[in-house]
Amino acid sequence: MDVLKQLFELHFHSPAERVQPLQGQLSGSGRNIIRLANDKFSAIGILYNVREENAAFLEFSRHFRRHSLPVPEVYAEDLSQGAYLEEDLGDTTLFEFLSKNRTGDTISPKAIDAYREVVATLPRFQIEAARDLNYKVCYPRGSFDRQSIAWDLNYFKYYFLRLAGIPFNEQALEDDFSRLTKFLLSADRDYFMYRDFQSRNIMLRNGHPFFLDYQGGRKGALQYDVASLLYDAKADLPPKLRQQLLDYYLDKLAAFNDPSRDKFMQHYYAYVYIRIMQALGAYGFRGFYERKVHFLQSVPYALKNLRWLLHNVTVPIALPTLMGAFNSMLASEKLQSLASDADNLIVRIFSFSFHRGLPKDETGNGGGFIFDGRGLPNPGREDRFKLLTGKDGPVIDYLNQQESVHQFLASVMSLVDASVSNYQKRGFKNLMVSFGCTGGQHRSVYLAEQVTKRLGGRNGVEVVVHHRELERMASENQASEKAAR
């Protein structure tokens, strides 16, 4: 963190007065993303220990800006410490803008206009800026080649099909993978492939898109990126709109004279499939393997896309085992249970200590409610409560006797209830409600438990509670006991 503060002061000639950890759209990346600001300036700091990936992002950022593409300006860097400082593009991702401007499959004109501007800009990255790009800095591969495709297909096979319990003949599936790879590599691949061109990596500022997360870019086919955007699982674009946006992209692509529409479409849906498989591999790895269950919420949307493809699209090569696996996925009771769970609004309730920072949002939504319980009477000041928590009867009885606590909870529930109802109507899937106090042991725990009870019986709501400091203390005690043995 100190290195980012130093970079901020070096660039702006004034210190950062506020430091705010962010998760947002990069929650699955492993990078630490921090907003640093004072009354005049604001910037985003990145801490990440993969030097090659950082170098690729910095090189690409400067290159794209030379081509007048809307990407963040890099203010300062220290690659030796895995740190750099970039322009703050605000908090509104294309995904969030879409979510706020839709009711089911009805998407507002301004959200559609934002998507149109995004797809109109994509060919400038892929063709215009690709002509003099330094592909030597690409990481981990310089092109979307046979090895890159093998990594994605194996990711899907081992972390999704295996862990979801989908049966398949391994040799027959490998034969299909070989045919699919050969076909994918027969497309023209002399373009810049952004690699992760999806709605959470696009920010909207003053209504116009700015682009992030191209550090995994490499040389590849045009079809991959537009497929990534239009089949972005949780964005859940209606098929009719997907086709309209694809047609608009192809119209813009025609200005560059290559390739023809027919030539592009010959390979397009094969790239749609490989992108969906790559995404499912990621959901499986994060969800089934790492037990980060919220990643599995995207699976039903990916299956919805697969169902549409299987009913409406034919690829020009035979892939019988792979298509059989897709059909088995659609029939899987285990995966169907994810689909029913995905209809629920998940409310994550946290208790925490302000001394240890705010809880991190790992859903990609950017936060929720944070309530400060430090103005309430503090049981921790009395010896009889010091070894107890907000889950223990004596502490609960003490706080239940305080009028200020009831007033606080009434105000909290008024706000939370209204948001829960609104989120359910708009089809949102995640809400975060956090309660902080001094130590994260008494008041915040009590408040979190009370709100959990009050929301627990609501239809279509799944409540998940985390007492961060209590969980941390329990983990430390277990480690101490293990060491003592």
Looking at residue 24, its pLDDT comes to: 43
The span from the CA of 156 to the CA of 275, in Å, is 10
Residue keyed to tokens 């105000």: 411
| Mean per-residue pLDDT over the chain, rounded | 92
Q: CA dihedral in degrees (410, 415, 419, 420; nearest 10)?
A: -10
Going by the DSSP 8-state scheme, the letter that residue 372 receives in this structure is: E
The span from the CA of 240 to the CA of 245, in Å, is 9
Instruction: Collect all residues with Cβ–Cβ distance below 8 Å to 61 and sequence separation of at least 6.
Output: 71, 72, 73, 74, 86
Q: In this predicted model, which residue has the larger pLDDT, 50 or 477? A: 50
**Least-confidence region, from 85-94, 128-137, 237-246, 255-264:** 255-264
Looking at residue 430, its pLDDT comes to: 85
The string of pLDDT tens digits covering residues 207-223 is 999 999 999 999 999 99
The string of pLDDT tens digits covering residues 366-423 is 668 999 999 999 999 999 999 999 999 999 999 999 999 999 999 999 999 999 988 8
The span from the CA of 25 to the CA of 90, in Å, is 12
- Coil, strand or helix: which one is 260? coil
Looking at residue 364, its pLDDT comes to: 62
What's the predicted TM-score (pTM) here? 0.74
Of the pLDDT bands very low, low, confident and very high (cuts 50, 70, 90), residue 26 is very low
Q: Which domains does the chain possess? A: 2-87 (3.30.200.20), 94-341 (3.90.1200.10), 344-484 (no CATH)
User: What sign has the CA pseudo-torsion 226, 228, 234, 238?
Assistant: positive
User: What sign has the CA pseudo-torsion 126, 48, 153, 291?
Assistant: negative
HSE value, Cβ hemisphere, 13 Å, CA-based, for 51: 4
The string of pLDDT tens digits covering residues 110-154 is 999 999 999 999 999 999 999 999 999 999 999 999 999 999 999
HSE value, Cβ hemisphere, 13 Å, CA-based, for 250: 16
Backbone φ and ψ for 400, nearest 5 degrees, come out as -65, -20
Of the pLDDT bands very low, low, confident and very high (cuts 50, 70, 90), residue 168 is very high
The string of pLDDT tens digits covering residues 425-481 is 877 888 999 999 999 999 999 999 999 999 977 878 888 899 999 988 887 776 666
Three-state SS for 22-61 is ECHHHCCCCCEEEEEECCCCEEEEEECCCHHHHHHHHHHH
Residue 25 has pLDDT above 90, yes or no: no
Closest by CA to 391, choosing from 349, 449, 345, is: 449
Backbone φ and ψ for 376, nearest 5 degrees, come out as -90, 160
Of the pLDDT bands very low, low, confident and very high (cuts 50, 70, 90), residue 285 is very high
Looking at residue 479, its pLDDT comes to: 63
Return the percentage of the chain with pLDDT > 90, whole number. 79
Looking at residue 341, its pLDDT comes to: 59
